[in-house]
Amino acid sequence: DGGITQSPKYLFRKEGQNVTLSCEQNLNHDAMYWYRQDPGQGLRLIYYSQIVNDFQKGDIAEGYSVSREKKESFPLTVTSAQKNPTAFYLCASSTGSGSDTQYFGPGTRLTVL
Amino acid sequence: RKEVEQDPGPFNVPEGATVAFNCTYSNSASQSFFWYRQDCRKEPKLLMSVYSSGNEDGRFTAQLNRASQYISLLIRDSKLSDSATYLCVVNSGLFRGTNAGKSTFGDGTTLTVKP
């Protein structure tokens, strides 16, 4: 089945620790995105990547880092510099054309203890 | 002012009712428009794209008014299974010269359909 997978589904982190969220897609999409969603709010863009070995900051990139070494994979690291990391993290992909549809993975719910 | 604004909701309607959601956007250069559905604690899923000519998919009808910069979603004959949060999404075209589209999401409108 083609789609986007994210792991883990739930993640607990102690303050001061870095954690990495996985996102993999087998849709042969060029573009990939990371969003954050807080309760009762819409999605906010953290980082996006249009092509392998290239990525750009979104609207709320501070405290996060990404890599895009393979077309299929776009992992997100939440660093200790992120002041309020508890949230629902969603990865998406698209073909990469200017106005195309984004398809989402099932999300990772991160809680900082 | 937010780039994309939706009806605050929540909407609580009986089964069989017709309900309409509106969404306004501020960027007149926006190129494409979508409605997504998001169930509680799940990822958003594409419901339908929105075109100037309007489009219909079963009980769902979406309309775009470029002159007034708003998008609407009409749900007829509501079902219990329609209960969800509906997200308006506006794609503003190119990211700073790249080919990737920048999508801005509204905060969503929550619909509860009751028996």
Alpha-carbon gap: A96 to the closest alpha carbon of chain B (Å): 5
B25: β partners: B4
From the list A90, A99, A107, the residue facing B93 with the nearest CB is A99
**Would you call B105 and A43 a contact, using CB atoms and an 8 Å cutoff?**
yes
The pLDDT of residue A107 is: 97
**Mean of the pLDDT values across residues B27-49?**
92
At A46, list the tokens: 């953290």
pLDDT category at B101 given cuts 50, 70, 90 is low
Using one digit for the tens of pLDDT, what is the confidence trace for A20-67? 999 999 999 999 999 999 988 889 999 999 889 999 999 899 999 999
Judged against a pLDDT cut of 90, whether residue A93 lies above it is answered with yes
- Helix, strand, or coil (residue B86): strand
pLDDT given at position A39: 86
Q: Give the pair of three-digit tokens for residue A26.
A: 């087998």
Nearest residue to A15 via CA among A106, A84, A100: A84
Q: How far apart are CA A106 and CA A95, in angstroms?
A: 19
Q: Are B86 and B95 in contact (CB under 8 A)?
A: no
pLDDT at position B9 is: 84
Q: Nearest chain A Cα to B88, which residue?
A: A42
What residue has token string 């100037």?
Answer: B52
Which residues of chain A lie closer than 8 angstroms to B34, CB-CB?
101
Query: Do residues B101 and A98 lie in contact, with contact meaning Cβ atoms separated by under 8 Å?
Result: yes
- pLDDT-derived band at A85 (thresholds 50, 70, 90) equals very high
- Interatomic CA distance for residues B100 and B78, integer angstroms: 35
pLDDT in tens, B59-99: 999 999 999 999 999 999 999 999 999 999 998 765 555 54
Distances (CA, A) of B64 to A25, A97, B31, B82: 31, 21, 11, 22
Please determine, for residue A69, whether its predicted confidence score (pLDDT) is greater than 60.
yes
- Tokens 């008014």, residue? B65
When CB atoms are compared, the residue of A56, A99, A104 closest to B101 is A99
- What was the pLDDT predicted at B61? 97
Shortest Cα distance from A27 to chain B (angstroms)? 16
* Range name among A17-21, A97-101, B12-16, B87-91 with the lowest pLDDT average: A97-101
pLDDT at B8: 76
CB B14 within 8 A of CB B114: yes
Angstrom distance (rounded) from CA A101 to CA A88? 21
Q: Which of B87, B99, B110 to mutate to probe the A interface, most A CBs <10 Å?
A: B99
